[in-house]
A = this chain, B = another copy of it.
Amino acid sequence: MKILIVEDEVGLREAIGSSLEKESYRIETASDFDTASEKIFLYEYDCILLDIMLPDGNGLELLAELKKQGKSENVIIISAKNTLDDKLKGLELGADDYLTKPFHLAELNARVKAVLRRNKLDGKEVVEWKNVRLDLNDRQLFVNNQEVQLNRKEFDILNYFLLNQQRLVTRVALAEYVWGDHMDQADNFDFIYSQIKNIRKKLKESAAEIEIETVYGLGYKLVRI
Contact = CB atoms under 8 A, between A and B. Distances in A.
Contacts of A167: 137-138
A173 B109 contact: yes
Interface string A164-185: 0001101011001100110000
A105 B179 CA distance: 11
Interface residues of A, number: 39
A176 B41 contact: no
A152 interface: yes
B37 A84 contact: yes
A18 to B, nearest CB: 8
Contact of A176 (B105, B173, B181): B105
Contacts of A84: 34, 37-38
Interface of A: 19, 22-23, 34-35, 37-38, 41-42, 82-84, 87, 98-100, 104-106, 109, 137-139, 151-152, 167-168, 170, 172-173, 176-177, 180-181, 215-218, 221
Q: Enumerate the 3 nearest inter-chain pairs by beta-carbon distance, A residue then B residue, closest first.
A: A106-B176, A106-B177, A138-B168
